[in-house]
A and B are shown apart, each in its own frame.
Chain A
Amino acid sequence: SQELEQSPQSLIVQEGKNLTINCTSSKTLYGLYWYKQKYGEGLIFLMMLQKGGEEKSHEKITAKLDEKKQQSSLHITASQPSHAGIYLCGADVESNTGKLIFGQGTTLQVKP
């Protein structure tokens, strides 16, 4: 969706390196979701952020929603081959109408 822009669209990193994926909107984001998808498989829930300034971590993945609730970042520390896949951010950008849209995804490759 153009209402949710992810950057970069693709990323290749060396194992052990840190990386950041961004999700940006011109509108306020409500209920920001991050999902991961392995190629050809289903979607794995990573975390959900609601409040401006909120930050959550799971293992080596940290996500933050900025104070204005218009941008979220996903940060992976010391990347591993198991982190490879497609990362998708999704949100309700129409004030809790239930219309959940997603960005175009970021494809991550981690080279051993």
Chain B
Amino acid sequence: ETGVTQSPTHLIKTRGQQVTLRCSSQSGHNTVSWYQQALGQGPQFIFQYYREEENGRGNFPPRFSGLQFPNYSSELNVNALELDDSALYLCASGISTDTQYFGPGTRLTVL
């Protein structure tokens, strides 16, 4: 167990809708990253938050946005969903170290 939880486990949305995914980290984890893992692929870095500020972003459009809260929880928001957004979304947290602990993921299906 990594102490990182994500909700919901599964989610089905339709194209054009908006979705919010949630992650709860261990106490003290001041860094959280979000990754998108398409079927059969490795995870792709979306962005990272450090002490509630965005601290780096991968090659994802602005309709992917996030928030990190003082209580060690975070959100990933995706607007205007596209079919290609169907994937497993993983959050990972740590304490400003290079070791990131992953949650079990949220499987998003866009129809």
Chain A partners chain B:
no
On B, residues with C-beta under 8 Å from A are none
On A, residues with C-beta under 8 Å from B are none
